[in-house]
Amino acid sequence: MTDLTLLSAREAARRIAEGTLTVEALVRACLERIAAREATVRAWAFLDPDHALAQARARDRSPASGPLHGVPVGVKDVFDTADLPTAYGSPIYEGHRPAADAACVALLREAGAVVPGKTVTTEFAAFTPGPTRNPHHPGHTPGGSSSGSAAAVADRMVPLALGTQTAGSVIRPASFCGCVGYKPTYGWIPRAGVKLLAETLDTVGVFARDVPDAALLAAVLAGRPALRLPEEAGVPLPRIAVCRTPEWAHAQPGTQAAIEAAVAALTRAGTVVGEVEPLPEQHGLVDAQADIMAYEMARALAYERTQHEARLSPRLRELLQRGVAIAPETYDRALAHAARARTALHRLFGDYDALLVPAAPGEAPPGLEATGDPVFNRSWTLLHVPCVTVPTWWSPGGLPVGVQLVGRVGDDARLLAAARFLEQAFETTTRP
Amino acid sequence: MTDLTLLSAREAARRIAEGTLTVEALVRACLERIAAREATVRAWAFLDPDHALAQARARDRSPASGPLHGVPVGVKDVFDTADLPTAYGSPIYEGHRPAADAACVALLREAGAVVPGKTVTTEFAAFTPGPTRNPHHPGHTPGGSSSGSAAAVADRMVPLALGTQTAGSVIRPASFCGCVGYKPTYGWIPRAGVKLLAETLDTVGVFARDVPDAALLAAVLAGRPALRLPEEAGVPLPRIAVCRTPEWAHAQPGTQAAIEAAVAALTRAGTVVGEVEPLPEQHGLVDAQADIMAYEMARALAYERTQHEARLSPRLRELLQRGVAIAPETYDRALAHAARARTALHRLFGDYDALLVPAAPGEAPPGLEATGDPVFNRSWTLLHVPCVTVPTWWSPGGLPVGVQLVGRVGDDARLLAAARFLEQAFETTTRP
């Protein structure tokens, strides 16, 4: 008998629709996996097994309602849920029960998904960690801020989960945990009912165990069925180039090995991997992103900063103080820099479908006091481009490292096809 | 003795700071005005006089805490408030009490303001009216969606109020009610804790009875003290041009008279008012805005649409259905059109500081079943440019009509100075 926690979301939905799998059996398998592993991984901020099973049985009683009918999806605890507590990773909101579901959660339910619980987020999706551990080594961070979503998917607790990225909060934890993370084009997935952190940057993203599953979930949330990858047919040979961005010196041996492994697999699969020079406009984008994020956070979290300062972590308090001190002129300059770089970006891509860049500095660092460095994510988030990470290398200690593929704004379908090609090249050429 | 409800926010704050006026006296005067007029105007979705007086006394006991110390500010009921119910103009949220203040409300309180209550919004800030009536003629609409804020400020119930604009929800009601409305550059005022309607468009704006008061409130909310206008010195002679946008045919006699009155006053005050031709890129922007708004609304309100459809007004339900049916390709084309027009906009402005355009088709139409047509606002909202309306004409029936000045993105200070010049030109040249 198949271990149901190994099923892709697509396969699970297919079996449920054809009547060879009940939603209850699938949800029970997920809950059993969570029961076995949660004490180690601590991916869940809130989990209600009975409520999950009740949803499952209701799905079993009704005809297939959408492309995710019966599929369990973990929801990062910065998305409001009317039926589950939502605390945004902060003691200020302990036990808070929103009046409504976030738009994304409503869209999940409309598509038939089951929401078993809320996954751990860092404090307000910033940098102060929650309790989650890396499923491959509990002494290492899972990355953040979507810590619980990345860990839960990588650890087979759920096939899919929602996250958000403001600096590197989807791509980095996915790379650290060894799953696929996909941050679509900025603005494609609605943010209504998500706790805002920095409006210019906040982007809803998804976690899955392969690229087609990530594409399926994003297709539902973005209302863009064309994002789904063809199930049977292969994807065309992509044109991919490595881009050594100005942050390249931060790439540790693990990330260099992951990039080399990706290039080798792509080459063996028939692609000639090129290389492009970063644009002058890319220099300084990491600092611009950090300024914009701190400036906007200090304003978006004005209520918490002014009314509940004592219940903020010292790290967050410090970041908000930095944000308050940033002059509007500095912020405006950073926004203008980003706008120039966005306009110039077509020169960077040239004829390529996607750029191959690091997802993170290396494997997940040891310790749970920090979530790692988003240095390889900040500029792409600011540029609003779609990004996908796919795991391509494992450290001797058993920790995964992903690479990141970056596409053009609005051309997510082309990026996802390239990422799928990389994933398949990897599966067919380097695994036994 | 001065009627305290005639004081500007600046004058009230000055007197409070120097100890010649108590906050309690000011708030009492506002509450008395509300008590006298509310049965006619119906500007308030929720008002708690005791709570307002308690805030006032607390302000009187503490030293001046910010530039709005003791100033009452009405808050549109799409901004979350932790101490007052927040229903977003919908029966779905009747009695809802948010866990937090919206960022803007927190910033108001940090600046020392008193929030006496929540002003009426249309349903989710879309097009289905609330109960508010035009303070100059109760048989006419006050405009929407910030109906209560515009009416309350125009009727001297409060000197200042918050609104939001997605199509024309600040400028149109301000024009209909005869007060100043100011929609700053998109993104300048944080939206955290505001019920989102259409993320590409939603812009927080302000209502006041003169331009310097509007500038003061926006300066606080945007964290841009440089927006404040100099209190003593005059403003420089602005360069202003009329722009007959593609919607010009919708301008009724009242609006034509308002534009003519503004040109006449500006000319008498020493400005040569020019004229600029609209850009080709401006054609079709009104339709693009309507498509983007419907598309994004259907997603932002996914929870209400899928879980509470029966409690939505028929008009909103229809608009959401239209939004659901808009193809992503149509939406993407509309966004691309807007991006092209934004890039081209510097050609339109040339050397001018501000463009003079209609604020609304004419005076407030009769009837309370609709809030008027945002046809003269949709494109400017989509372009993310700052807009100010100033009343310049009154109909024989006693209804005001404003004109709209439009500035460059990010150059709000220049726009506000031009609007102040217009306001002063009007005061000094056409009033007895």
Report residue A81 as tokens.
Answer: 């849920």
SS (H, E, C) B149-177: HHHHHHCCCCCEEEEEECCCCCHHHHHHH
Catalytic residues of B: 76, 145, 169
Number of C-beta neighbours around residue A293 at 10 A: 26
CB contact at 8 A, A212 and A240: no
Does residue B266 carry a pLDDT above 60?
Answer: yes
Query: For chain A, which residues make up each domain, given as ranges?
Result: 4-280+338-430
Place of tokens 């850009």: B279
pLDDT at A376: 98
- Residue range A185-211: mean pLDDT, rounded: 98
Q: d(Cα A301, Cα A90) in Å, to the nearest integer?
A: 12
Question: Under an 8 A CB cutoff, do A305 and B224 touch?
Answer: no
Pick the CATH number of B1-229+240-276+351-369+382-432 from 3.90.1300.10, 3.40.50.720, 3.40.50.1010, 3.40.50.170: 3.90.1300.10
Report residue B302 as tokens.
Answer: 């996914």
Q: d(Cα A393, Cα B81) in Å, to the nearest integer?
A: 49
SS (H, E, C) A56-75: HHHHHHCCCCCCCCCCEEEE
Residue of B nearest to A110 (CA): B306
Mutation site, B75, B164, B303, interface A, largest A CB count within 10 A: B303
Mutation site, B115, B191, B299, B304, interface A, largest A CB count within 10 A: B299
| Residue B142 pLDDT class (50, 70, 90 cuts) | very high
Question: For residue range B109-125, what is the model confidence (pLDDT) as tens digits?
Answer: 999 999 999 999 999 99
Beta strands in B3-142 (DSSP E): 44-47, 73-76, 117-119
| Residue A432 pLDDT class (50, 70, 90 cuts) | very low
User: H or E segment at B241?
Assistant: strand B240-243
| Residues facing residue B274 across a β-bridge | B241
Strands A117-119 and A180-183, sheet pairing: unpaired
**What's chain B's average pLDDT?**
96
pLDDT at B64: 84
Catalytic residues of A: 76, 145, 169
Q: d(Cα A382, Cα A47) in Å, to the nearest integer?
A: 33
Helix axes B147-154, B23-41, angle to 10 degrees: 120
Does residue A33 carry a pLDDT above 50?
Answer: yes
Report residue B104 as tokens.
Answer: 């803007």
Does residue A233 carry a pLDDT above 80?
Answer: no
Category of A142 on φ-ψ map: left (φ > 0), alpha (ψ -120 to 50) or beta:
alpha
pLDDT at A17: 96
pLDDT at A428: 66
Question: Under an 8 A CB cutoff, do A191 and B199 touch?
Answer: yes
Q: d(Cα B3, Cα B16) in Å, to the nearest integer?
A: 15
Question: For residue range B413-426, what is the model confidence (pLDDT) as tens digits?
Answer: 999 999 999 999 98
Question: For residue range A106-127, what is the model confidence (pLDDT) as tens digits?
Answer: 999 999 999 999 999 999 999 9
pLDDT at B232: 73
Q: What percent of chain A has pLDDT over 70?
A: 98
pLDDT at B428: 66
Backbone angles phi, psi at A51, to 5 degrees: -65, -40
Q: Which residues of B touch A307 (CB under 8 A)?
A: 101, 106
Report residue B252 as tokens.
Answer: 């009724």
**What's chain A's average pLDDT?**
96
Question: Under an 8 A CB cutoff, do A199 and B193 touch?
Answer: no
Find all residues with CB under 8 Å of B329, minimum gap 6, and list them.
none
Q: Report the candidate in A104, A302, A187 with the shortest Cα–Cα distance to residue B80.
A: A302
Question: For residue range A297-308, what is the model confidence (pLDDT) as tens digits?
Answer: 999 999 999 999
pLDDT at B304: 98
Q: In a 10 Å sphere around its CB, with 0-12 CB exposed, 13-18 middle and 19+ buried, how is residue B308 labelled?
A: middle
CB contact at 8 A, A157 and A37: yes
CB interface of B with A, residues 315-354, below 8 Å: 328, 332
Q: d(Cα B241, Cα B301) in Å, to the nearest integer?
A: 39
- Residue range B73-98: mean pLDDT, rounded: 98
Find all residues with CB under 8 Å of A118, minimum gap 6, and list them.
A44, A45, A46, A47, A74, A75, A76, A77, A79, A81, A84, A85, A86, A148
Can you tell me whether residue A402 is helix, strand or coil? Answer: strand
pLDDT at A234: 77
| Residue A224 pLDDT class (50, 70, 90 cuts) | very high
Q: d(Cα A116, Cα B109) in Å, to the nearest integer?
A: 38
Q: d(Cα A215, Cα A162) in Å, to the nearest integer?
A: 12
| Predicted interface score ipTM higher than 0.95 | yes
- CA distances A422 to A194, A211, A272, A305, B429, Å, are 32, 10, 12, 44, 72
Question: For residue range A331-369, what is the model confidence (pLDDT) as tens digits?
Answer: 999 999 999 999 999 999 999 999 999 999 999 999 999
How big is chain A by its Cα radius of gyration, in Å? Answer: 20
Q: What percent of chain B has pLDDT over 70?
A: 98
Task: Identify whether A379 is preceded by a cis peptide bond (ω within 30 of 0).
Answer: no
User: H or E segment at A401?
Assistant: strand A400-406
| Residue A232 pLDDT class (50, 70, 90 cuts) | confident
pLDDT at A430: 45
Question: For residue range B276-320, what is the model confidence (pLDDT) as tens digits?
Answer: 999 999 999 999 999 999 999 999 999 999 999 999 999 999 999
pLDDT at B234: 77
Question: Under an 8 A CB cutoff, do A328 and B224 touch?
Answer: yes
Q: d(Cα A134, Cα B427) in Å, to the nearest integer?
A: 68
Minimum-distance CB partner of B196 among A99, A107, A192: A192
Does residue A13 carry a pLDDT above 90?
Answer: yes
Minimum-distance CB partner of A106 among B199, B200, B307: B307
Does residue B430 carry a pLDDT above 50?
Answer: no
* A223 Cβ under 8 Å from any chain B Cβ: yes
Does residue B429 carry a pLDDT above 60?
Answer: no
Does residue B338 carry a pLDDT above 50?
Answer: yes
* A83 Cβ under 8 Å from any chain B Cβ: no
Backbone angles phi, psi at B88, to 5 degrees: 55, 25
**CATH number for the domain whose boundaries are A4-280+338-430:** 3.90.1300.10
Minimum-distance CB partner of B192 among A98, A107, A196: A196
| Residues facing residue B207 across a β-bridge | B161, B181
Q: Could you give the count of Cα atoms lying within 13 Å of A285 in the half-sphere of its Cβ?
A: 29
Q: d(Cα A406, Cα A282) in Å, to the nearest integer?
A: 14
- For chain B, give the number of residues: 432
Question: Under an 8 A CB cutoff, do A303 and B199 touch?
Answer: no
Q: d(Cα B25, Cα A79) in Å, to the nearest integer?
A: 43
Question: For residue range B211-240, what is the model confidence (pLDDT) as tens digits?
Answer: 999 999 999 999 999 999 987 777 889 999
Does residue B66 carry a pLDDT above 70?
Answer: yes
| Residue B432 pLDDT class (50, 70, 90 cuts) | very low
Question: For residue range B145-180, what is the model confidence (pLDDT) as tens digits?
Answer: 999 999 999 999 999 999 999 999 999 999 999 999
